[in-house]
Structure 1
Amino acid sequence: MSTAVQEDNYEEALKELKALRAKVEKAEDTKSRLLLEKLEEDEAKGEAQREMMEQLNKQELREKEFKQQKDKLQDEIDQLSRKKQHLQEKLRKCRKQMETKRAESTKLKERFKIYAPIPHTEVKFLAPMKEKECTDEMNHFIRGVFTISQQVTLLLQGGQALLTFEEEKVASQILKMAHCRVTCEDSSLDVKPKRITMETPVTFEVHLDVSRKELQVLDVPPSMPGERIKDRLEMSFSKSSRGGGEVESVDYDEESRKGCVTFLHPGVAVDLAMRGDYIVDLEHEEHLKVEPTYRYDLQKFQTFCGSVKRTILLDGIGGKEDEEDLQDHLEIHFQKPSNSGGEIECIRYISEGKTLQAFFSEDKMDME
């Protein structure tokens, strides 16, 4: 080979070597850049994974807290539900007791209530009545007289009826029968007429004197000796800024924890009693309940005997018809003279399973 050819080959090889070196350098740069990007991406990936783990941990913690709160709320809901059921049961029992007590109270109220007729009396006017002088005794008390009268009652049971005729003789005729057959639309009933047995009604007067000078103080805390409590009561009830007044005397019973304050002038005790409580300075300010002092006396206790002449009781009515329809059949039957009946002033029938309180008033016809 000639020297010129060798030189050409050498130059080409050098050029090719330079080109390869340039490519290698470029590849190295690319490799370095890619490695750097990979490191950055790995670092970003690691950071993202750490953030994701933190978020997962937070989520687990929150889910745990949520579950705990949910369980706690569910326990509270269960407790409230049980408490609600208990209160509802208690309310049901209390309502039942209240209804029983109310019925008993109504019965007792009506039992001790009487409307006594006052006979007609001729009055002759002679002279105007002179007013009595107001004595200290009258000035120190508010006096009242209350008349307690019992009204005659009867508890009408289911399957019973009350009939009041206009004439006594009709009721008397019906009571002579052992039973009466009442015809309805598709059936007939055997009812038993009975005489009404009345309880002995009573009436009495309650004479009540309410003191205008004395005031009772209730539930005084035993925080100091009795004498000191008396002094504190006197000082507290003497303060006009609280509605008090000049105190005449103070009594205190350690056993019952009650005090009695007597004011010098009438009227102060009444005003304080109307308020219901008063601030008393003991070891510290106490709101104590106050009430009036009173005395009462029962007088003119009287009992009365009476009978129901125009009203009868029908028992053993076992019909299954409507209450109003059956009452109409009873009224029609006992209005007919052919059934020994007559004009009916009032009728009331109660079906099975019900009760009704009936009240009797003085018969005006018997008074004339």
Structure 2
Amino acid sequence: MSSDEDFSIVINGDTDTMEGIQEQIVKYKEQHRLVLQEQQDLATGVYKVKDLELQFQRRTNILRQALEEDDASHAKTVENETMRLASLRRDEVRLKEEIDAALEQQSQLDKDNYHLRQQTAVSTAVPEKRVVFTGVTGNDAKTQSFEMKPHVVYPMEGGTALITFEDEKVARKILEMKEHKVELGECTITLEAKPVQVLVPSLVEMDTQICPHRVLVSSLPSKLRGEVLLDKLELHFSKGKNGGGEVEATDMLHDSGNVVITFVNGHVAKGLTDQQQHDVNFGKKEKKHKVKVTPFLNGKITHFQTRVSECSHTVLLAGVPAVMEQENLQDLLEIHFQKSSNGGGEVDAFLYNPLGQHSLALFQEECPIKD
């Protein structure tokens, strides 16, 4: 473009006079001022826009940071709630297991309670047994016990002998001497005295329950025993009119004198024990005798402990050679230990087991045993 096109002045008035020119100058100055004012306003607007932009940027950063913190807090909350939910589920599983265990325990308690009720029923219907005070007092610390009859089998090695003295002090003296020289005619043998130790029960726990097929009959007539008594009982209790039924077996308990009757059917025993007292005819000339019918208990050992105890009256003699016949040697040894000059005393029992043989010695209730 030419300079004429860049700058053009349009004079709408009289420009030939000085007043017209001045008027135009004033007009252009006003236009210039307006342009400068507009530029200043634009600059101010740009500044304000930039300031608003900065403020918006700051607010955006703050909001972004707050959002990130909220996201982190929400994630932490979700994690905590997830962990809490997992813990609650574990607690739920544990509580369910505890409930199942409690239900199982309750079931076992119900069974035990039923068992105890049965035991109570039995304890109130046990056979009567006469007792008498003998003048001997017991130790309260040992009241938790029950009567047992020892029946201990003791294996003997060959070349040994068992000797039981009447006096416990004699047995203790023989043990203290340890070695004993015994003259057997032309020869002398040396024996070693050792204590006899046996295993005896120290704790026995039993689980018992009422047998549905058996009853225990007590209070029987003292004049009638053996097969005749069993036949009379079987005849009476096999009849339905007496509350009985088909009898499978009758057994005499010789230690107590009572009788166990076994029925084929399981419902018979319960009816007989509920009545307890029964009148039985044991002979034509005799009037009926009243017997007592009580439940019969089946039992099994659930816990058994033993302890080693020393027999206080019995001594084991070891190292017995086979120098003569068994009977002759046993007699000579017994004579030797009966003499007080040899430290012995009165002998209650003597058993010799020769070399090359194995014997089993039976210790029963008569054998005093000390802990």
Fold equivalence (TM over 0.5): no
Bin of the TM-score, shorter chain as denominator length = 0.3 to 0.5
Query: Normalising to structure 1: TM-score of the pair?
Result: 0.35
Larger radius of gyration: 2
